[in-house]
Amino acid sequence: MEQFRLPRIPMPKFDLPQAVQEVLTEADTALAHRPKLLKLFKNCFPNTLETTTKLMDDGTTFIITGDIPASWLRDSVEQVIHYLPLAKRDEDLQRIIGGLIKRHIQYVRIDPYANAFNESANDWHWNKNDGTEMSPWVWERKFEIDSLCFVVRLAYLYWKETELTDIFDESFRLAMEEIVNVFRTEQHHFEKSPYRFSRDNGIEHDSLQNGGLGMPVNYTGMVWSGFRSSDDACDFHYNIPGNMFAVVALRQMQEFFEWIFRDQSYVLELKKLEQEIDRGIRLYGIYRHPEFGPIYAYETDGFGNYCLMDDAGTPGLMSIPYLGYTDADDPVYQNTRRFALSKENPFYYEGEAARGIGSPHTPPNYIWHMALSMQGLTAQTKEEKLEMIEMLENTDADTGFMHEGFHADDPEIFTRTWFAWSNSLFSQLVYKSMKEGIL
């Protein structure tokens, strides 16, 4: 496993927002009949706030991923996403989440190709010798299309939940336009992109092939991505769930520019880009599988080559309805889901303790808690949701927290004791199940 080479940074403590405290009190009653699940929930639900969150003097919020002293755009969004339903009535949560959005905007304007950032311009990096254009603000500069989409997702959901508009200043608008410019550039990666990335550490998935350019692609209308949400290099650089996420982000941006910025001409530009990407997904992103029928590929290069798999990270194929690209009852999604939860998916594992999706980012036979949580969040039946919750409950190795990957035969063999995103996704599943009354 990769390990950072800097000391753990203690995050300053602050009182939990009142709305979060009320959820924990609610759980005391709702989960009283399941003491272990109650303990897990009460550990995991506030974990982001208790261990990874720092309120900055400039009104922004800095959130580390957990056991690495840097903030991932993607992770930090999913680390707070389960607090959004509480934010409308809690000013402390508004300060935390609104501050995180403002910091994201700063980061995008510093470098829209970076995936992870430092608290300050301290020149800390995962690898100081990466072959790319680094900034002292940037911890790692792996271009992952989903990182930019998550920035849009948090701002959009926060706006819809709270109806607050103070985040929508000129800097926000410029950051949205920067995201769109990157998408447009990366539709023509080899012709127009300045982005290169290589890392000479002997790990194949940590570097792009072809002198840092990546493997050749054909024009499809989709957006090129260097890396997956696992931070591993793409095999074929049109990541389908990532492009689905871009379609959703562009739809959300259209609302920003229609209702906040009142720029109808730019709305039309966003609509055109959305349609180009979506058409590419429909033309190039669907594979006719001999057993499951039409399924969404994980990646393609536009030349007819496909990567057929699913990865535990979000966005992945399992998370398509979670992201809002299509409903869970979409026939192609249902075919894809059956594929992802079968041994035809090379990263689906079954063992004595659990069965579920892992990742090429971790060793064979390691299932990810995040994959089990996402399977529960996208399940259509109460029975499947309860099955996932029970599996999560039984595989924490009695640590009281979720992890990254664990061995399918022995949950006491696992990676990452402190992985806040996994704790948050688990909390989201349990909280939603509490509200639905199925627990």
- Residue 11 domain-assigned? no
287, 412: one domain: no
Give domain status of residue 340, yes or no.
yes
User: Do 305 and 169 share a structural domain?
Assistant: yes
> Does residue 208 share a domain with residue 220?
yes
Let me know if residue 353 belongs to a domain. Answer: yes
Last residue of a domain, one of 345, 370, 387: 345
Element (H, E) at 367: strand 366-368
Same domain, yes or no: 97 and 227 = yes
Residue 192, CA distances (Å) to 186, 225, 357, 360 in order: 7, 14, 36, 30
Identify whether the C-beta of residue 188 lies closer than 8 Å to the C-beta of residue 219: yes
User: How far is Cα 112 from Cα 104, in angstroms, rounded to an integer?
Assistant: 10
Whether residue 2 is contained in a domain is answered as no
Are the beta carbons of 312 and 358 closer than 8 angstroms?
Answer: yes
Instruction: For residues 165 and 294, state if they share a domain.
Output: yes
The answer to whether position 9 is within a domain reads: no
108 is written with which tokens?
A: 């995008």
Do both 93 and 37 map to the same domain? Answer: no
Residues 116 and 240 in one domain: yes
Q: 39 and 109 in one domain?
A: no
Residue 382 lies in a domain: yes
pLDDT tens for the chain, 439 residues: list them: 333 444 455 666 779 999 999 999 999 999 999 999 999 999 999 999 999 999 999 999 999 999 999 999 999 999 999 999 999 999 999 999 999 999 999 999 999 999 999 999 999 999 999 999 999 999 999 999 999 999 999 999 999 999 999 999 999 999 999 999 999 999 999 999 999 999 999 899 999 999 999 999 999 999 999 999 999 999 999 999 999 999 999 999 999 999 999 999 999 999 999 999 999 999 999 999 999 999 999 999 999 999 999 999 999 999 999 999 999 999 999 999 999 999 999 999 999 999 999 999 999 999 999 999 999 999 999 999 999 999 999 999 999 999 999 999 999 999 999 999 999 999 999 999 999 999 9
CATH number, domain of 237, equals: 1.50.10.10
Together in a domain, 70 and 160: yes
DSSP structure class, residue 235: S
**Considering only CA atoms, which of 148, 209, 220, 218 is closest in space to residue 190?**
218
The single residue listed with the structure tokens 């393609």 is 300
Distance CA 439, CA 315 (A): 27
Question: What pLDDT shows up at residue 12?
Answer: 64
- Tell me whether residue 7 is in a domain: no
Our count of domains for the chain comes to 2
Instruction: Write the DSSP assignment of 163-185 as a string of letters.
Output: ---TT-SHHHHHHHHHHHHHHHH
In a domain, 18, yes or no: no
- Answer yes or no: are the C-beta atoms of 326 and 336 closer than 8 Å: no
Residue 48 and residue 155 in one domain: no
Tokens 């959005």 belong to 101
Q: What is the pTM of this model?
A: 0.96
Q: Which domain holds residue 434?
A: 23-55+347-439
Please report the beta strands in 22-121, taking only residues with DSSP state E, as ranges in sequence order: 53-55, 61-63, 71-72, 116-117
Secondary-structure breakdown of the chain: helix, strand, coil percentages, each rounded to the nearest 5 = 45, 10, 45
- In whole angstroms, how far apart are CA 314 and each of 116, 170, 360, 375? 16, 29, 14, 11
Among the three residues 293, 323, 345, which one is the final residue of a domain in this structure? 345
For residue 364, say if its preceding peptide bond is cis, omega within 30 degrees of 0: no
Contact 369, 422 (CB under 8 A): yes
Residues 351 and 341 in one domain: no
Distance CA 97, CA 252 (A): 18
Last residue of a domain, one of 305, 324, 345: 345
Cα–Cα distance, 214 to 193 (Å, whole number): 12
Indicate left, alpha or beta for 163 from its phi (over 0: left) and psi (-120 to 50: alpha): left
Phi, psi of 167 (to 5 degrees): -75, -20
- Residues 362 and 231 both lie in one domain: no
Integer Cα distance of 352 and 169 in angstroms: 53
pLDDT at 300: 98
